Amino acid sequence: MTITTGKKKEKIDRLSELAARDDERGVSLWKEAFRRLRRNPAAIVGAVILGLFLLVAVLGPFFVPYAPDAQLWKGEIRLGDFPGPRAENWFGVDHIGRDEFSRMIVGARQTLLVGVVSTLIGLAVGSLIGGVAGAAAGLGGRWGRAVDNVLMRFIDMLLAMPSLLLAISIAALLGAGLTTVMIAVGVVSVPVFARLLRGSMISQANSDYVLAAVSLGVKKPKIALTHVVPNSLAPVIVQATLTLATAIIEAAALSFLGLGNNDASIPEWGVMLADAQQYLDSAPRLAVLPALAIIVTALGFTLLGEAMREALDPKLRK
């Protein structure tokens, strides 16, 4: 197969010398997306917020000054008057004499746990359903479309219910508790992931490189796994980051309604918010602090998610 003439070869050699400058390896799309991400100020702000949050959530509980459930200042509680911020209690004392600062720190871990686990539940179940439906619809022919139809009508049923209502129903069925909150919030995000991955896979399955793989003789399941899925993941990853933010808010909402964690020894921002509402006029900081923490964390995830969306968007590639 050597038809290259001497002249052409020379030209090619020259070109190869020119091109073999500093970067020997090609740059994959993931690497390039990461490079773009690093240049985006929103991504940096989001990453810093999340970094701090992670640090506090993982390491914080080992360094808290007081046990979060110890009612050390019970004696100082007067009706409608709790000790405010002071040297030994940085954020003051709550309504039954516990150190608010320690509770906030330990609550961060709970919030992270609920957010991550419920998002993972949604991501895993949703991607499985969406992946099967997408592969079936995109590559499976007539029977594939039937499988896709059944799966997607089930997803549509989940999607038809308001998410908080669905979460409340699940929580009511399973009884209050931390696991319940995770499952409920996770199930709510299942249809989003399923539809997203399915749609993305169908559009990829119609692209020319899939046709090229078919014409090479590659088997359909292999095409689905090696070509279609990797090219469909970008929007799902972005959605997972954004879902972490909503999961935290939804978990807080469930806890606020009393369906969340009922173990008083493990503080959680949502529960703290719910407890604080009775003392809004006397000690507003008890509500403001956990609310602020929830907002800032959710903002961090959203900023990073939006930045990732931009970095992974093929239209913005330069």
Cβ-proximal residues to 244 (8 Å cutoff; 6+ apart), any chain: 115, 116, 119, 301, 305
CA 45/CA 91 separation, integer angstroms: 25
Asked if 12 touches other proteins (CB under 8 A), the answer is yes
Q: Please state, in angstroms and as integers, the Cα–Cα distance from residue 301 to each residue in 42, 198, 243, 245, following that order.
A: 11, 24, 8, 6
CA 50/CA 33 separation, integer angstroms: 19
Nearer to other proteins, 93 or 234 (CB): 234
Asked if 289 and 91 count as a contact pair (C-beta separation under 8 A), the reply is yes
Structure tokens at 104: 């906030």
Asked if 207 touches other proteins (CB under 8 A), the answer is yes
Asked if 211 touches other proteins (CB under 8 A), the answer is yes
Asked if 160 touches other proteins (CB under 8 A), the answer is no
> Which one of the spans 54-62, 84-92, 214-222, 238-246 is the region binding other proteins (CB under 8 A)?
214-222
Classify residue 314 by burial, with Cβ atoms within 10 Å: 0-12, 13-18, 19+: exposed
Nearer to other proteins, 90 or 209 (CB): 209
* Shortest Å distance, C-beta 306 to other proteins: 22
Asked if 15 touches other proteins (CB under 8 A), the answer is yes
> Which one of the spans 178-186, 207-215, 258-266, 272-280 is the region binding other proteins (CB under 8 A)?
207-215
Asked if 84 touches other proteins (CB under 8 A), the answer is no
* Shortest Å distance, C-beta 215 to other proteins: 5
Asked if 7 touches other proteins (CB under 8 A), the answer is no
Asked if 218 touches other proteins (CB under 8 A), the answer is yes
B/e letters for 17-27, b = 16+ CB within 10 Å, e = fewer, are eeeeeeeeeee
If we measure between CA atoms, which residue out of 87, 89, 48 comes closest to residue 68? 89
Which of 16, 79, 87, 315 is in the footprint of other proteins by CB under 8 A? 16
Angle (CA) 266 267 273, round 5° = 155
Residue corresponding to tokens 């003789």: 217
Asked if 227 touches other proteins (CB under 8 A), the answer is yes
> Which one of the spans 186-194, 209-217, 240-248, 267-275 is the region binding other proteins (CB under 8 A)?
209-217
Residues that bind other proteins (CB under 8 A): 1-4, 8-9, 12-13, 15-16, 19-20, 24-30, 32, 149, 153, 207-209, 211-219, 227, 230-231, 314, 317
